[in-house]
């Protein structure tokens, strides 16, 4: 509302084909902060003649009340690119400035063509301020016109109206240069350490002659940046001053050429990178003589970058292709995946890398591994060469980078091993990853990776006492008070949490045999015994358990002045025990026990003593006393095997066996003698009866008769043979 939209219209035939391409619609009083003004660009549909809003144009954003779009006109081909340009006036721009230099501006928008689509250039337009034309110009840009050659130089001029005055602006010749560069040799052989001849040429692409364009009196200033993409240059100009700034006056011909010589920066050109092309950047600008006003000085095309890039490649064994394609295969194996802190000393990773394709350039390996692994060594193959940097911390891991076969890993295989040492310190996580990634710098980069998961456990040593035997004489009493001591000692530097379970059988055959009365926990603590004699001080290390006195100090010569028992440190972890009655206890079932008293203690210390005080009540039943001859109080250490590793599992079980001693039966000596005599008499009577019955004699006579009959039969047979 109130923007005067449509107060100025400007049809534009950008490509000069006689058909309107754009329609500019001005709104010079368009308001945001003030009456800045705005121009809408509509694209004309050549099929149906409809208009589509393409974009909007505006002047300087920090200058309100400029009234941009107050005047508009096509001004011909100012940029000399066969496209129509447009001038838009902003007569109140810089109004209110106290410098007295005048106010008002004109903006020049050049035509632009891309992909058969014509438009006004999106680049920053040329802004011509009143103060730059002549002092005292007011309302500069209130009217514009162009397209005519007032100066007769063959270039379109622009007329701009101001308050009471008009200005004619002449177009400057636009020079477009074609830059070319040739190298001898055209490609660098591997191991090349000679010089490279360079031939650099600038060629004018404009249709005007050198004299018409003003290039005959213009100089070209250009610089060369050799190996522009590298911080560590591989080649340089033989004369650095020649490359840093060369000023050459343009001659009468259309070309300006210059030779150069490039030399390696080091004796061996191929130290790090022998595959990527050496990029040479050429930057240039025109330098015109000062003081001449009779002819506009030429300028470079503002829409073209005044620089060019050229590549000096390396020779590659890529079967006449533009780039090499490497085919990398990676295989990795770990010596183990479950690592026990405090037990595992080393971890080894075997790596097999194969390139079955073409040359692989700048092949690198990146290793990510947890911080509790300290890199120890690498077992390298004879070939290719492998160089590794020191590991660097990154986030929660360590990263180590290795160069494999730099600069070129040819069609080959590499097998090597990496060895880490596991730190003996607590690791906070249960799992971690170790990853290997292989990459190269070929044009089509190859990348392969492998990741392995590691599981961490912490080792501890906990030893229970050997099984012991306790005897009870049942003939003396039927009730006994006994204490069962389970003392644990070992090493637990990582604070592993394990459980001691004590199983006390309390009920057998329906009889309550044992009643647990009390449970006592004592933790041995290290101490330093400082004994001061009259002449010296002696420090004795040891340990002491609560509720027990320390071992007396051995007597020695001298007079004891002072004895001091001092704690030597320790974790002081509290042991928590729970008790309950349950029908089964321990990992191995025990028959005939109907109920157990289970004691479970969570322990994280190196040493711990647990004492169970119990009352044993024996039954007066003879049958029970005959069946139950012994009891076993069990002790067992258990732990979470996914978190911890017990190093001496054979010492994680023990038992205290209680054997009941019974009364011995005493037999009378007279009773024994009488029994023996009676038995002997019975034996004599039995033998006498057998003899009297002829038991032994009849058997002997029968044997004699059989023998006589056999002899008689033999004699008869001999007589018959003689007859």
Flag whether pLDDT at 217 surpasses 50.
Answer: yes
Q: What is the dihedral of CA 380, 381, 384, 387, to 10 degrees?
A: 10
Candidates 225, 179, 219, 170; CA nearest to 202 is 179
Flag whether pLDDT at 579 surpasses 90.
Answer: yes
Helix axes 695-722, 669-692, angle to 10 degrees: 40
Neighbours of 302 (CB within 10 A): 13
Flag whether pLDDT at 552 surpasses 50.
Answer: no
pLDDT band at residue 81 using 50, 70 and 90 as cut-offs: confident
Cis peptide before 185 (omega within 30 of 0): yes
> How far apart (Å, rounded) are the C-alpha atoms in residues 366 and 438?
7
Flag whether pLDDT at 427 surpasses 60.
Answer: yes
For every residue of 462-526, DSSP letters joined together read EEPPPPEEEEEETTT-SEEEEEEEEEEEEE-TT---EEEEEEEEEEETTEE-EEEEEEEEE--EE
> Is-same-fold flag (175-312; 464-550+573-661)?
yes
pLDDT for residue 85: 94
Question: Residue 585 burial (CB < 10 Å; 0-12/13-18/19+)?
Answer: buried
> How far apart (Å, rounded) are the C-alpha atoms in residues 723 and 718?
9
Task: Identify the CATH class of 175-312.
Answer: mainly beta
pLDDT band at residue 402 using 50, 70 and 90 as cut-offs: very high
What six digits make up the tokens of 270? 């191929």
Tell me phi and psi for residue 395, to 5 degrees.
Answer: 60, -125
Counts of helices then strands in the chain (DSSP H, E): 6, 51
Q: Taking the domain 328-459, which CATH number applies?
A: 2.60.40.1510
CA angle 128–132–134, rounded 5-degree value: 120
**Highest mean pLDDT (candidates 32-36, 148-152, 270-274, 328-332):** 328-332
3-state helix, strand, coil in the chain (%, to 5): 10, 50, 40
> How far apart (Å, rounded) are the C-alpha atoms in residues 246 and 412?
48
What separation in angstroms does the CA of 458 have from each of 340, 396, 421?
5, 20, 15
Question: Residue 475 burial (CB < 10 Å; 0-12/13-18/19+)?
Answer: exposed
Q: Taking the domain 464-550+573-661, which CATH number applies?
A: 2.60.40.1530
Tokens 């689509």 belong to which residue?
A: 117
The residue-averaged pLDDT of 119-129 equals 88
Candidates 102, 111, 89; CA nearest to 130 is 102
In eight-state DSSP terms, residue 716 is H
Q: Name the residue ranges covered by the structural domains of the chain.
A: 9-171, 175-312, 328-459, 464-550+573-661
Q: Are 548 and 520 in contact (CB under 8 A)?
A: no
Cis peptide before 465 (omega within 30 of 0): no
pTM of the model: 0.57
**Highest mean pLDDT (candidates 79-93, 540-554, 692-706, 709-723):** 79-93
> How far apart (Å, rounded) are the C-alpha atoms in residues 343 and 228?
54
pLDDT for residue 557: 41
CA angle 128–130–136, rounded 5-degree value: 170
Counting Cα atoms < 13 Å in the Cβ hemisphere of 616 gives: 24
CA angle 423–426–429, rounded 5-degree value: 105
Flag whether pLDDT at 561 surpasses 50.
Answer: no
Q: Are 492 and 679 in contact (CB under 8 A)?
A: no
In eight-state DSSP terms, residue 360 is E
pLDDT band at residue 116 using 50, 70 and 90 as cut-offs: confident
Between the two ends of the chain, the Cα-to-Cα distance in Å is 176
Tokens 């079967």 belong to which residue?
A: 319
SS3 194: coil
Neighbours of 160 (CB within 10 A): 29
- 30 Cβ contact partners less than 8 Å away, ≥ 6 residues apart: 3, 5, 36, 37, 38, 69
pLDDT for residue 123: 80
Strands of the sheet with 560-567, listed across from one edge: 537-544, 525-533, 560-567
Q: What Rg, from alpha-carbon coordinates, does the chain have?
A: 55
pLDDT for residue 588: 84
SS3 354: strand
Tokens 């330093």 belong to which residue?
A: 528
What six digits make up the tokens of 651? 């010492």
What are 370-386's pLDDT values in tens digits?
999 999 999 988 888 89
What are 295-326's pLDDT values in tens digits?
778 888 888 889 999 999 888 777 666 678 88
pLDDT band at residue 571 using 50, 70 and 90 as cut-offs: very low
Tell me phi and psi for residue 677, to 5 degrees.
Answer: -65, -40
Neighbours of 37 (CB within 10 A): 31
What are 91-103's pLDDT values in tens digits?
999 887 766 788 9
Q: Where are the beta strands (DSSP E) in 141-287?
A: 143-148, 157-162, 165-170, 174-175, 177-184, 196-204, 219-226, 235-237, 246-249, 255-264, 278-287
- Lowest-pLDDT choice from 57-71, 122-136, 601-615, 660-674: 660-674
- Tell me the fold of 9-171: Methylamine Dehydrogenase; Chain H (2.130.10)
Handedness of CA 678, 681, 683, 685 (dihedral sign): negative
> How far apart (Å, rounded) are the C-alpha atoms in residues 281 and 243?
11
The residue-averaged pLDDT of 162-177 equals 90
In this predicted model, which residue has the larger pLDDT, 529 or 373? 373
What are 255-271's pLDDT values in tens digits?
889 999 999 887 665 65
| 29 dihedral zone (left: phi>0; alpha: psi -120 to 50; beta) | alpha
SS3 626: helix
- Lowest-pLDDT choice from 86-100, 111-125, 680-694, 703-717: 703-717
């Amino acid at each position: 509302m109130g923007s005067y939209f449509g107060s100025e219209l400007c049809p534009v035939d950008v490509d000069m084909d006689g058909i309107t391409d754009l329609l500019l619609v001005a709104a010079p009083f368009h308001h945001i902060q003030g009456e800045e003004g705005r121009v809408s660009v509509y694209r004309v549909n050549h099929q149906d003649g409809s208009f589509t809003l393409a974009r909007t144009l505006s002047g300087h954003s920090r200058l309100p009340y400029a009234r941009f779009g107050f005047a508009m006109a096509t001004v011909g081909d100012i940029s000399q690119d066969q496209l129509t340009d447009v001038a838009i006036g902003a007569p109140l721009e810089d109004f209110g400035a106290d410098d007295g230099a005048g106010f008002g501006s004109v903006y020049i928008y050049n035509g632009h063509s891309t992909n058969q689509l014509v438009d006004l250039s999106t680049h920053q337009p040329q802004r011509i301020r009143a103060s730059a034309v002549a002092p005292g110009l007011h309302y500069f840009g209130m009217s514009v016109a162009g397209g005519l050659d007032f100066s007769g130089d063959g270039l379109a001029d622009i007329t701009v109206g101001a308050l009471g005055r008009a200005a004619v602006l002449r177009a400057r010749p636009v020079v477009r240069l074609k830059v070319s560069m040739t190298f001898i040799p055209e490609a660098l052989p591997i191991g090349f350490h000679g010089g490279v001849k360079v031939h650099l040429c600038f060629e004018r692409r404009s249709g005007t002659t050198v004299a018409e364009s003003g290039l005959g009196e213009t100089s070209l200033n250009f610089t060369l940046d050799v190996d522009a993409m590298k911080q560590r240059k591989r080649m340089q100009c033989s004369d650095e001053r020649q490359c840093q700034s060369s000023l050459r006056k343009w001659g009468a011909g259309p070309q300006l050429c210059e030779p150069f010589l490039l030399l390696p920066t080091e004796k061996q050109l191929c130290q790090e990178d022998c595959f990527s092309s050496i990029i040479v950047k050429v930057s240039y600008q025109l330098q015109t003589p000062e003081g001449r006003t009779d002819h506009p000085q030429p300028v470079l095309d503002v829409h073209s970058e005044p620089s060019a890039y050229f590549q000096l490649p390396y020779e590659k064994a890529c079967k006449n292709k533009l780039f090499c394609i490497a085919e990398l295969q990676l295989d990795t194996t770990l010596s183990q995946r479950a690592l026990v802190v405090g037990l595992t000393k080393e971890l080894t990773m075997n790596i097999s890398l194969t390139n079955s394709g073409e040359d692989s350039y700048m092949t690198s390996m990146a290793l990510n591994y947890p911080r509790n692994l300290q890199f120890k060594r690498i077992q390298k193959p004879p070939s290719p060469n492998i160089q590794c940097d020191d590991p660097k911390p990154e986030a929660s891991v360590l990263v180590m980078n290795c160069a494999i076969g730099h600069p070129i890993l040819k069609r080959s295989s590499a097998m090597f091993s990496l060895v880490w040492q596991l730190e003996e310190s607590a690791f906070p996580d249960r799992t971690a990853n170790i990853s290997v990634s292989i990459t190269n710098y070929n044009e089509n980069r190859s990348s392969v990776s492998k990741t392995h998961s590691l599981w961490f456990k912490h080792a501890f040593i906990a030893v229970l006492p050997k099984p012991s035997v306790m005897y009870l004489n049942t003939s003396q009493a039927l009730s006994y008070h006994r204490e069962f001591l389970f003392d644990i000692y070992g090493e637990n530097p990582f604070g592993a949490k394990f459980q001691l379970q004590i199983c006390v059988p309390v009920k057998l055959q329906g009889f309550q045999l044992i009643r647990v009365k009390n449970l006592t926990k004592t933790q041995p603590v290290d101490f330093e015994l400082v004994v001061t004699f009259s002449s010296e001080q002696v420090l004795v290390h040891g340990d002491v358990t609560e509720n027990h006195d320390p071992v007396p100090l051995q007597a020695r010569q001298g007079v004891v002045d002072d004895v001091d028992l001092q704690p030597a440190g320790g974790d002081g972890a509290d042991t928590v025990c729970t008790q309950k009655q349950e029908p089964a206890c321990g990992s191995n079932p025990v028959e005939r026990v109907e109920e157990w008293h289970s004691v479970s203690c969570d322990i994280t210390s190196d040493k711990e003593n647990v004492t169970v005080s119990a009352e044993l009540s024996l039954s007066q039943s003879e049958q029970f006393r005959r069946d139950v001859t012994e009891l076993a109080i069990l002790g067992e250490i258990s732990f979470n095997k996914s978190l911890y590793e017990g190093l001496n599992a054979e010492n994680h079980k023990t038992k205290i066996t209680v054997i009941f001693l019974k009364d011995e039966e005493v037999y009378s000596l007279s009773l024994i003698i009488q029994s023996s005599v009676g038995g002997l008499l019975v034996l004599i009577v039995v033998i006498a009866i057998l003899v009297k019955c002829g038991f032994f004699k009849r058997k002997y006579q029968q044997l004699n008769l059989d023998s006589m009959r056999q002899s008689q039969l033999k004699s008869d047979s001999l007589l018959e043979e003689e007859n």
